[in-house]
């Protein structure tokens, strides 16, 4: 594995750990040349899954794009990278279990919106503000009401 610090091809594995409920292996590595430590992930290669965007454009599913959006939503919250990896793995597993070669981006967004309040409510509101394109405070208030109703159904 190439060191992104010095570009050396020689590294050793210091630690390996299952993540995302066994869907991936996280490896801590150390460069043998500069001793820089870095993390890599190993996961099963799956067939390409095409995402159909709202505007009709098709693109390959990119778990890193989903993970990046969730990292922005969970910034400055107690949610860990390991929790996010498991969260994304769960979404990814469900997408592939559908058995469809194409999935709409709306379906993925709804999967995230359905699960995210259980992970972190602040992250949910942040994600929802982008996903639902909130334009004003009333939009936020409606979404907060939904969270309250879920927590305290009467």
Q: pLDDT tens digits for 15-53?
A: 998 876 677 888 999 999 999 999 988 877 777 899 999
What residue spans define the domains of the chain? 1-45, 46-151
Q: How confident is the model at residue 154 (pLDDT cuts 50, 70, 90)?
A: low
pLDDT of residue 134: 80
pLDDT of residue 145: 84
CB 143 within 8 A of CB 121: no
Across 140-145, average pLDDT: 82
Q: How confident is the model at residue 1 (pLDDT cuts 50, 70, 90)?
A: confident
In angstroms, rounded to a whole number, what is the distance separating the alpha carbons of residues 150 and 88?
A: 22
């Amino acid at each position: 594995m190439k060191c992104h610090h010095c570009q050396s091809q020689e590294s050793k594995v210091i630690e390996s750990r299952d993540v995302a409920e066994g869907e991936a292996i996280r490896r801590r590595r150390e460069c043998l040349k500069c001793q820089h430590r870095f993390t890599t992930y190993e996961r099963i290669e799956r067939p390409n899954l095409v995402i159909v965007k709202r505007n009709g454009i098709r693109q390959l599913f990119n778990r890193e794009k989903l993970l990046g959006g969730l990292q922005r939503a969970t910034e400055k919250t107690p949610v860990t990278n390991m929790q996010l990896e498991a969260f994304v793995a769960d979404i990814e597993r469900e997408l592939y279990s559908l058995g469809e070669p194409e999935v709409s981006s709306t379906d993925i967004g709804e999967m995230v919106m359905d699960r995210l309040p259980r992970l972190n409510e602040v992250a949910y509101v942040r994600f929802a503000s982008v996903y639902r394109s909130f334009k004003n405070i009333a939009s936020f208030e409606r979404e907060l009401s939904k969270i309250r109703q879920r927590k305290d159904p009467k």
